[in-house]
Amino acid sequence: MSLFDTDTSAKRLPVALITGFLGSGKTTLLNRVLADRRMARSLVLVNEFGEVGLDHLLMESIDGDMVLLQSGCVCCTIQGDLDRTLRDIARRRSRDETPPFDRVLLETTGLADPAPILQLLLNSPMISHDYRLDGVVTTVDAINGARQLDDHAEALRQAAVADRLLISKTDLAEAASSAHLRARLGVLNPGAQLYEVVRGDIDPALLFDSGPFDPAGKSDKVRQWLNAETHDHHGHHHDRTRHDAHIGSFCLTFDEPLDWDRFNPWLMAVRAAWGDRLLRVKGVLNVEGETQPLVIHGVHRTFHPPTLLARWPDADRRSRLVFITRDLDRATVAASWDES
């Protein structure tokens, strides 16, 4: 028997976290996406219907906090805290008290630091019984995005931890400022896939399937999820503002299979020492004694229990550990491993 859990993602609902600063186009995006037939059987969680202009899509109210949209999506307001809402909905779904849905879109308020939500999805046993974090999608406004990154630490964090970055309003912004913003985001978060979105017009598929798991079990997408190759250009961008310079990303690669009795205490020590500086950590590990790759995923000091994937995606069996950090550099972390 393995020490580790095998991936049960096929049984759990994928959650896409949609974040982004105030006015960056989240509502426009939701409206466009929810009108798409392929989004049928989605549950959309919003902070408040009043804030989100979904009026023309509403069809019937199922009860006070839940409405059914014409496209077959269910829209629900977050009642009290997210933890309680998610558990309540899972309970209602299991009793067939909700319309059927297979995935969840969670829209955060524009001022939110995504970390607490990620921590809840990664490490609450009650929540992970029914849900799995699929990915983080961050909208950035081409007109005001650069100023927001300068002025607000939350905007910077939202962009730094994204799996996919959607730049909105490129049709209204000057080409030069859009290109500038793209370059800046590319340095801030090299691992994210970057898309430009005009008036919310995107393929809804971009909001999902950015996690490491393929619930159908055909091909695990760990390479795309880690995107490890992108994290190791150490060159500094010529116009990085001081604000951005605090956030960096790097990848540690281990050629030989890892001894879990050495690796696990080291990672625990890294979390204990620098947890507040770990914005996100993702890893695919080749552990001695396991034929399958082990996935680890964490935010600050909160980590998902290590999970075995069905298979290696290719012949590369090196362990790769990607860090997105604030005020923590590669040399410091690598030295702590050498000393462990």
SS3 sequence, 216-282?
A: CCCCCCHHHHHCHHHHHCCCCCCCCCHHHHCEEEEEEEECCCECHHHHHHHHHHHHHHHHHHEEEEE
Q: How confident is the model at residue 256 (pLDDT cuts 50, 70, 90)?
A: very high
Between 45 and 9, name the one with better pLDDT: 45
Q: Does pLDDT of 141 surpass 70?
A: yes
Cα separation, 75 vs 101, whole angstroms: 11
Contacts of 1 (CB under 8 A, 6+ apart): none
Q: How confident is the model at residue 81 (pLDDT cuts 50, 70, 90)?
A: confident
What per-residue confidence (pLDDT) applies to 236? 46
Q: Mark 112-137 as b/e (b = at least 16 C-beta within 10 Å).
A: bebbbbbbbbbbeeebbebbbbbbbb
Tokens coding 339? 């000393």
Mean pLDDT, residues 65-70: 80
Cα separation, 202 vs 277, whole angstroms: 33
What per-residue confidence (pLDDT) applies to 207? 82
Q: Does pLDDT of 158 surpass 60?
A: yes
Q: Does pLDDT of 47 surpass 70?
A: yes
Cα separation, 58 vs 15, whole angstroms: 22
Mean pLDDT, residues 60-85: 80
Between 79 and 262, name the one with better pLDDT: 262
Mean pLDDT, residues 201-223: 77
Percent of the chain scoring above 90 in pLDDT? 49
Which letter does DSSP use for residue 21 in this model?
Answer: -
What per-residue confidence (pLDDT) applies to 1? 67
User: Structural domain boundaries of the chain?
Assistant: 5-207, 222-338
Name the CATH topology of 222-338. Hypothetical Protein Yjia; Chain: A;domain 2 (3.30.1220)
Q: Does pLDDT of 49 surpass 80?
A: no
Q: Does pLDDT of 243 surpass 60?
A: yes
What per-residue confidence (pLDDT) applies to 203? 80
Name the CATH topology of 5-207. Rossmann fold (3.40.50)
Cα separation, 153 vs 163, whole angstroms: 18
Q: How far is CA 245 from CA 21, 216, 235, 306, in A?
A: 20, 40, 12, 31
Contact 128, 9 (CB under 8 A): no
Taking the whole predicted model, whether its pTM rises above 0.85 is answered as yes
Which letter does DSSP use for residue 57 in this model?
Answer: G
What per-residue confidence (pLDDT) applies to 60? 60
What per-residue confidence (pLDDT) applies to 33? 81
pLDDT 10s digits, 260-312: 999 999 999 999 999 999 999 999 999 999 999 999 999 999 999 999 988 88
What per-residue confidence (pLDDT) applies to 51? 58
What per-residue confidence (pLDDT) applies to 24? 74
What per-residue confidence (pLDDT) applies to 223? 84
